[in-house]
Chains A and B, each alone.
Chain A
Amino acid sequence: MTQEQTIPLFEEVVNGWNKLSLSGGVKKESSDLRRARQSAFDKFRELGFPSIRNEEWKYTNLARFLKDEFTIEGWEVPGKTVVPDAALVKKAGITLLDCYQIVLVNGSWDGTIGGGTLPKGIQLLKVAEARQDPALSVYFEKQAAWGDQHFANLNAALFTDGLFIRVDAGVTVEKPIHVIHVYTSESNLLVQPRNVWVVNRNAELSVVESVVSGGTAKIWVNGLTEILVHQDARLHHTMIQTAGAGVRLVQQTTVHQHRQSLYNNFTITLPGADLVRNDLQARLEEEHTESHLYGLYLAAGHQLVDNHTLVDHQKPNCLSNELYKGVLLEQSTGVFNGKVYVHKDAQKTNAFQQNNNLVISKKATIDSKPQLEIFADDVKCSHGSTVGQFSEEALFYLRARGIGEESAKSLLINAFAFDVTEKIRIPEVEAHVNELISLHIPVNHA
């Protein structure tokens, strides 16, 4: 049963918390998990929702998004699923991609897997079940794990469902897992999916996530994904955000990397959702790890796309590489904040970071803040950030060869995005992303 209350989100959250602590599902959880929920909730109550006075939210004003009323869904009937619109699922599908496909509706999974049976050595579980399983609840029990992150604490306090993935040591999962997140509702909703993915020693996994939405109501998605990449393991993670108008997407992803592990992330954001905020944190906790973070954001309408990344070099001899590219159309706003933190111990760190922005429209805004904090001396760190527009010369060159202005601009945007898209390891996914980009250009240059 969903609460039909017409109070601002904060009060709804407090009410939700009071209900949650009484619900049967939570009573079955371990006492440590309940303590973790309590501490996260206390932290959230102390922090409240962020304002622009908070440095991490300086350029992302939530005031206009927080005016709406939302109800919290999930804790009464965990795992309750709405049947998604088949067209929505199809829209998120990736042509020709040979994969295991699973669909999460408002953060809950019905347990079916498309694309064949899973091989041995990989388990997919509903978080609604995993959190009550004494063997697995340890992944949710960490106290005070989310520091001053407003939304992560909120999720950690109130989450009920999501997707748990575990790959056993030494197992290479050949086919990627395609996770389709469908958000749909007829009334305003706050959804808080919590995902935990564990890739054990020397295992390898590819996950492709697609986010789509339907319905007429406003949906606030407050997602929290925690990823553990153990020694020698490899995880390739692609996120394609194509949610539509009315959706406010706040996605926090924290990756813990162990010795000699590899993590690749591609975050692709397309026009649609009113607000997209990605908080990606790669924590390089042991030596010789490697992380690659690629991002592409194409923003249009009045959309606000905010990418915050943190690369936390804790140990020596690690490599990180980050490239975020943005194309800003119409009245959109882009925000990039990339922090590279090199601890005292992390000698021989190589860290590279770049953010390039192509501002197409006169009314678009970009705020970029690349940031280096370095406490070790034997390091090579660099960052770069640019804001620019179409090169007149390149446009002239193309037009002189008989290519119309619109097509020439489309070509240039595709070329600009190519630096990111070409890095996507799965050709079908790359083609899918390119197709999505083409859908939004040629553009209106008003």
Chain B
Amino acid sequence: MPNDNEIIDNIANKEYEFGFVTDIEMDILPAGLNESTIRYISEKKKEPEWLLNWRLKGYQSFQKQKLPEWQNFELPAIDFQKISYYAAPRNKKKYNSLDEVDPELLATFAKLGIPLSEQKALTGVAVDAVFDSISIATTYKDKLKELGIIFCSFGEAVQEHPELVQKYVGSVVPHSDNIFAALNSAVFSDGSFVYIPKGVRCPMELSTYFRINTENTGQFERTLIIADEGSYVSYLEGCTAPMRDENQLHAAVVELIALENAEIKYSTVQNWYPGDKDGKGGIYNFVTKRGICKGANAKISWTQVETGSAITWKYPSVILQGDNSTGEFYSVAVTRNRQIADTGTKMHHIGRNTRSRIISKGISAGEGNNSYRGLVQIGPKADLARNFTQCDSLLIGDRCGAHTFPYIESKNNTATVEHEATTSKIGEDQIFYLNQRGIDSEKAVALIINGYAKEVLNQLPMEFAVEAQKLLSITLEGSVG
């Protein structure tokens, strides 16, 4: 049996399996950010004037804002002028069917385990594949159309359903929300758009797969999901990027709108390139995700499995405006090598009888640092609001860190808020117990970690729970405490 140090070396040296580069002809905008960059993107996408004006407003608020300083890690200097804000695979015309898509692209997604041809696709999952700035293909589109469900790229939605986009875009995350959201509003290239009509239960999982390929580009996609009254949708996003020495910026915005009696379940399996063992390279994952339960009895649930990225910095939040609405946040965040995760959630209780539940599991190994930062806010009108928060941290190795920053603000005496947090390492007694039963230490740790994360993994759609479980055991392979 290898000793602890060897095992830790093993995981440190483990290669990132999605680190390949696709060689394809690209249209890349030269690096740099100014008004004409924005006009170029807008023109390229044939956008209406209101959207261009909105982008420009976003750019103005971006210029006014400074990078935050409150985070619990050292924010590396980001030169916004060195990033290219638009990169798209070169294509002559719009694809009419998958057969016309560049085979190189299809091969890339197949290699990532996301076959785009519908015969081979995961049954019951519709996929929108985003390659650098552009949505490549959306599967099962027609089947969904029969039910009135709109699932397409953001660009298409702007062309075909401008009234819906105009009504909802920026309504949850305004263009001035924070510096990265402002940047996204100015330069967002594509993303997914989902509209579920009244009373429809979406029969399949909707999924977007993001892939950053080109060097020195940033990915700025925007996702907008609207669940009309009484509807239900489950949505999943996944992401990977090639291995590069340079850090790349991913600043997405996700907006969820759940009307009366609607439910949105949003799951993320995030596996961006985390950088090498010395912390060189990797994606900066600075994402703004927020949902609003607009009507009564609405429900929004965030589930995230965060294993990649050099720095993960995001707080998927829920605004509980409708009475009796529910917000949930389930998270597993793994950091190893020099990875940093500063993540958590915000639950704003505004309506009566609103409920929220937060389960956060942090796992830190190597020199990784994991922070939970959360806000539970109970407004004066949120009578009988209820929150339960549990955040646990697991430490593997003596050079990692785990931190908890929960904020609780209550302005209502009928609210009940509970928060608990624990930090510990894997018990030697637990490993010993499993060893005794003939399970070697490595498998024992995998078992314990999976048990530890089970509460969150159980929230994922079945097909992805398996993938996430696999990802978790690969990420932590050999990390005996």
B419 touches A371 (CB 8 A): no
Contact present for A365 and B408 (CB under 8 Å) = no
B395 interface residue per 8 A CB criterion: yes
Task: Let me know if A375 is at the binding interface, CB within 8 A.
Answer: yes
Cα of A364 to Cα of B405 in the assembled complex, Å? 23
Q: Which stretch (A23-31, A37-45, A378-386, A397-405) binds chain B?
A: A378-386
Whether the pair A374, B402 counts as a contact (CB closer than 8 A) is: yes
Contacts of A55 in B (CB 8 A): 70
Quick one: which of A354-401 are within 8 Å of B by CB?
357, 359-362, 364-389
Q: Is the CB of B418 within 8 A of A383?
A: no
Within 8 A of A (CB), among B394-426: 395-425
Contacting residue for B407 out of A357, A367, A372, A377, CB 8 A: A367
Are B406's CB and A369's CB within 8 A?
yes
User: Are A369 and B396 neighbours in the complex by a CB distance under 8 Å?
Assistant: no
A382 CB contacts on chain B under 8 angstroms: 420-423
Interface residues in A, total, Cβ within 8 A: 36
Residue of B nearest to A389 (CB): B413
Q: Taking A370-B404, A371-B404, A374-B403 as contacts, is the C-beta distance between A383 and B420 under 8 angstroms?
A: yes
In the bound complex, CA of A367 to CA of B406 (Å): 10
Residue pair B404, A366 in contact (C-beta under 8 Å): no
- In angstroms, Cα B417 to Cα A357, docked, is 9
Evaluate contact between A378 and B398: CB separation under 8 angstroms: yes
How far does the alpha carbon of A369 sit from the alpha carbon of B407 in the complex, in Å?
5
Task: Count chain A CB atoms within 10 A of each CB in B72, B401, B408 and give the residue with the most.
Answer: B408
Chain B, Cβ-Cβ closest to A334: B410
Q: Does residue A425 face the partner (Cβ distance < 8 Å to B)? A: no
Asked if B422 contacts A381 (CB within 8 A), the reply is yes
Known contacts A372-B402, A388-B416, A389-B414; A381 and B424 CB within 8 A of each other: yes
- A347 contacts chain B at the CB level, 8 A cutoff: yes
Inter-subunit contact A365/B398 (CB<8 Å): no
Are the CB atoms of B416 and A387 closer together than 8 Å? yes
Contact A375 B423 (CB under 8 A): no
A377 touches B420 (CB 8 A): no
Would you give the shortest CB distance from A114 to chain B, in whole angstroms?
43
Given A387-B410, A387-B415; A373-B401 close (CB under 8 Å): yes
Residue A91 at the chain B interface, CB threshold 8 Å: no
Residues from chain B with a CB closer than 8 A to the CB of A380 are 422-424
Alpha-carbon gap, A360 to B425, bound state (A): 39
A377 engages B413 (CB within 8 Å):
no
Contacts of A385 in B (CB 8 A): 406, 408, 417-420
The verdict on B393 contacting chain A, using a C-beta distance below 8 Å, is yes
**Which residues of B sit under 8 angstroms from A370, Cβ to Cβ?**
404, 406, 419, 421
A344 within 8 A of B: yes
B398 CB contact (under 8 Å) in A344, A359, A372 = A344
Q: Which of A367, A373, A378 contacts B403 (CB 8 A)?
A: A373
Contact of A377 among B400, B403, B404, B418 (CB under 8 A): B400
Bound-state CA distance A387–B382 (Å) is 14
Q: Which residues of A contact B403 (CB under 8 A)?
A: 371-374
Residues of chain B lying within 8 A (CB to CB) of residue A384: 418-421
Q: Do residues A362 and B398 form an inter-chain contact, with CB atoms below 8 A?
A: no
Q: B295 at interface (Cβ–Cβ under 8 A)?
A: no
Report the separation of the CA atoms of residues A344 and B419 in the bound assembly, to the nearest whole angstrom: 26
Contact partner of B423 (CB less than 8 A), chosen from A59, A368, A374, A388, is: A374
Contact pattern, A 166-195, Cβ under 8 Å of B = 1, otherwise 0: 000000000000000000000000000000
Contact between B409 and A361 (Cβ–Cβ < 8 Å)?
no
Interface size on B, residues (CB 8 A): 37
Main SS at interface, chain A = strand
Complex CA–CA separation, A209 to B94 (angstroms): 79
Q: Which residues of A contact B412 (CB under 8 A)?
A: 359, 362
Instruction: Confirm or deny: B282 has a beta carbon within 8 angstroms of a beta carbon on chain A.
Output: no
Q: Write out, one digit per residue, whether chain A residues 336-354 have a CB within 8 A of any chain B CB (1) or not (0).
A: 0000000010010000000
Contact A359/B406 with A55-B70, A374-B423 known, Cβ cut-off 8 Å: no
| Alpha-carbon distance A228/B410, docked complex (angstroms) | 37
Q: Which residues of B contact A389 (CB under 8 A)?
A: 413-414, 416
Complex Cα gap A384–B420 (Å): 4
Cα distance A364–B413 in the bound complex, in angstroms? 7
Instruction: Tell me, in angstroms, the Cα distance from A381 to B413 when the chains sit together.
Output: 29
Q: Is the CB of B401 within 8 A of A375?
A: yes
Q: Are A369 and B393 in contact (CB under 8 A)?
A: no
Q: Report yes or no: B423 in contact with A372, Cβ–Cβ below 8 A.
A: yes
Q: B308: CB under 8 A from chain A?
A: no
Residue of chain B at shortest CB distance from A371: B405
In the complex, are the beta carbons of A367 and B404 less than 8 A apart? no
How far, in Å, is A383 (CB) from chain B's closest CB? 5
Give the docked Cα–Cα distance between A369 and B418 (Å).
Answer: 12
Residues in B with CB closer than 8 Å to A376 are 395, 398
Beta-carbon contact of A367 and B422 below 8 Å? no
B407 nearest in chain A by CB position: A369
A396-423 at interface with B (beta carbon < 8 Å): none
Assuming the contacts A378-B398, A382-B423, asked whether A367 and B413 have C-beta atoms less than 8 A apart, the reply is no
Distance in Å: Cβ of B385 to nearest Cβ of chain A: 10
Chain A residue nearest to B409 (CB atoms) is A367
Residues of A within 8 A of B400 (CB): 375, 377
Tell me the complex Cα distance, A59–B407, Å.
11
- Of residues 39 through 80 on chain A, the ones whose CB sits less than 8 Å from some CB of chain B are 55, 59
The reply to whether the CB of B242 lies closer than 8 angstroms to some CB of chain A is no
Q: Given A55-B70, A366-B408, A367-B407, is A372 in contact with B413 using a C-beta cutoff of 8 Å?
A: no
Complex CA–CA separation, A388 to B386 (angstroms): 9
Check A374–B413 contact: CB distance below 8 A. Answer: no
User: CA separation between A373 and B401, bound complex, in Å?
Assistant: 8
Q: Decide if A371 touches B398 in the complex (CB within 8 Å).
A: no
Answer whether A383 and B397 are a contact pair too, CB < 8 Å, given A359-B410, A372-B403, A389-B416.
no
A380, B423: Cα distance in complex, Å: 6
With A374-B395, A381-B424 as contacts: A386 and B404 at CB distance below 8 Å:
no
Bound Cα distance A87, B336 (Å): 64
Any A CB within 8 A of the CB of B481:
yes
A374 near B393: Cβ-Cβ < 8 Å: yes
Question: How many angstroms from the CA of A275 to the CA of B421 in the assembled complex?
Answer: 30
Chain B residues in 8 Å Cβ range of A378:
398, 425
Query: Considering the chains assembled together, what is the distance between the CA atoms of A375 and B395 in angstroms?
Result: 9
Q: Of A377, A381, A387, which contacts B417 at CB under 8 A?
A: A387
CB-defined contacts of A347 to chain B, threshold 8 Å? 398
Q: Is the CB of B410 within 8 A of A377?
A: no
Cβ distance A373 to chain B, nearest Cβ, rounded Å: 5
Q: Are A377 and B416 in contact (CB under 8 A)?
A: no
What is the bound-complex CA distance between A357 and B412, given in angstroms? 12
The docked-state distance in angstroms from the alpha carbon of A344 to that of B378 is: 36
Contact A371 B413 (CB under 8 A): no
Report how far A122 CA is from B408 CA in the complex, Å.
44
Contacts of A365 in B (CB 8 A): 409-411
Q: What are some 17 contacts across the A-B interface (CB < 8 A)? A: A55-B70, A359-B415, A365-B411, A366-B408, A367-B409, A369-B405, A369-B406, A371-B403, A375-B400, A377-B398, A377-B425, A382-B420, A382-B421, A383-B404, A385-B420, A387-B378, A387-B415
Closest 9 CB pairs of A and B: A377-B395, A387-B417, A359-B413, A368-B408, A372-B404, A385-B419, A384-B420, A382-B422, A381-B423
Query: 10 extra interchain contacts, Cβ-Cβ under 8 A, other than A362-B380, A370-B419, A372-B423?
Result: A359-B412, A368-B419, A372-B393, A372-B403, A379-B425, A380-B424, A383-B419, A384-B418, A385-B420, A387-B408
List the interface of chain B (C-beta within 8 A of A).
70, 72, 378, 380, 393, 395-425, 481
Binding site for B on A (CB under 8 A): 55, 59, 328, 344, 347, 357, 359-362, 364-389
